């Protein structure tokens, strides 16, 4: 059975003090009312060490939003997978559409990042999903399959156990436009079938496939009720304790 997960992606929001306040607020809320799923917060690099110190890692796991495609050395401004891991983080988001689009992260670059993350003991939340144009051309399945083949299907089944997939239709990210639960389930079930073809039914059943894109407390219960939706990757609604907690509670 795939693990149920609600993961937050803070993106480029919150200064250090605000981030600590948010993490502390979430910690307090979940200490008072235990979650029924794995909860992860993925923060900007600068928050990781301090937030790691304050969290109870049994209840809230920590992740980064990116890591470098090089192991170490003269790459000014970059942060390696090893550095991320040394903060106490357990996860890293890779392949987010914003990084593919605005920072020209190609499948080959993402493959390097995935390999370095796994080699340094991080788990990867790997994002895939089509643009509006691709959805209108009914290319969503081909896009998702190609993104998996391009950056994670070279892994062994053993390595693939450390990959969480996040299906995030680009047209639904930050737009307030959510995929319907039926639309999401259709592609989630397709993604699981592609994983099954590559790694077998057991690995596919054990892989958590998260939905992302304007997920909020009001639509999470319907999305999470679908058999192939194992949780959510949450942007905007992860920036306030009450909003994020509302989504976590959808698993209750």
Q: Does 173 bind ligand PGA (CB under 6 A)?
A: yes
Task: Enumerate residues 6+ apart whose C-beta is below 8 A from 202.
Answer: none
Verify whether residue 141 is a known catalytic residue.
no
- Give the tokens for residue 174: 């930050």
Verify whether residue 98 is a known catalytic residue.
no
Q: Cβ–Cβ contacts within 10 Å for residue 15, how many?
A: 11
The residue at minimum Cβ distance from ligand PGA is: 235
Residue 84's closest CA among 119, 134, 37, 132?
Answer: 119
Within 3-22, the residues that bind ligand PGA by CB under 6 A are 9
Q: Does 80 bind ligand PGA (CB under 6 A)?
A: no
The single residue among 174, 205, 225, 240 that binds ligand PGA, judged by CB under 6 A, is 174
Q: Does 215 bind ligand PGA (CB under 6 A)?
A: yes
- Give the tokens for residue 117: 């993350």
Q: How large is the angle between the packed helices 140-151 and 107-119, nearest 10 degrees?
A: 50
**73 vs 176, beta carbon nearer ligand PGA:** 176
Taking the complex as a whole, the smallest distance from the CB of residue 212 to ligand PGA amounts, in Å, to 4
Choose the binding region for ligand PGA from 118-126, 157-165, 191-199, 227-235 (rule: CB under 6 A). Answer: 227-235
Max Cα–Cα distance, the chain, nearest Å: 48
With b meaning 16 or more CB within 10 Å and e meaning fewer, what string describes 124-149? bbbbbbbbeebbeeeebbebbbebbe
Q: Does 219 bind ligand PGA (CB under 6 A)?
A: no
Choose the binding region for ligand PGA from 32-40, 81-89, 134-142, 233-241 (rule: CB under 6 A). Answer: 233-241
Q: Which one from 38, 47, 65, 96 is the annotated catalytic residue?
A: 96
- Give how far Cα 203 sits from Cα of 25, 116, 195, 198, Å: 35, 22, 8, 9
**48 vs 125, beta carbon nearer ligand PGA:** 125
Q: Does 30 bind ligand PGA (CB under 6 A)?
A: no
- State the catalytic residues: 96, 168
Which residues are at the interface with ligand PGA (CB under 6 A)? Answer: 9, 168, 173-174, 212-215, 233-237
């Amino acid at each position: 059975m795939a693990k149920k997960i609600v993961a937050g992606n803070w993106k480029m929001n919150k200064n250090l003090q605000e981030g600590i306040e948010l993490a502390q607020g979430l910690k307090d809320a979940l200490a008072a009312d235990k979650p029924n799923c794995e909860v992860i917060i993925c923060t900007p690099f600068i928050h990781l060490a301090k937030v790691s110190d304050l969290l109870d890692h049994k209840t809230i796991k920590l992740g980064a939003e990116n890591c470098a495609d090089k192991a170490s050395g003269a790459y000014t401004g970059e942060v390696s997978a090893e550095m991320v891991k040394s903060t106490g983080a357990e996860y890293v988001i890779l392949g987010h559409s914003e990084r593919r689009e605005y920072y020209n992260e190609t499948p080959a670059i993402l493959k390097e990042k995935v390999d370095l993350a796994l080699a340094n003991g991080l788990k990867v939340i790997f994002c895939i999903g089509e643009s509006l144009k691709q959805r209108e051309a009914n290319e969503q399945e081909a896009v998702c399959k190609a993104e998996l083949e391009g950056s994670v299907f070279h892994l062994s089944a053993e390595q693939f156990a450390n990959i969480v997939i996040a299906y995030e239709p680009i047209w639904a990210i930050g737009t307030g436009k959510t995929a319907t639960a039926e639309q999401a389930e259709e592609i989630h079930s397709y993604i699981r079938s592609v994983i099954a073809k590559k790694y077998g039914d057991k690995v596919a059943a054990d892989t958590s496939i998260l939905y992302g894109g304007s997920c909020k407390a009001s639509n999470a219960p319907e999305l999470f009720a679908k058999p192939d939706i194992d949780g959510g990757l949450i942007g905007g609604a992860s920036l306030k304790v009450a909003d994020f907690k509302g989504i976590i509670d959808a698993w209750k």
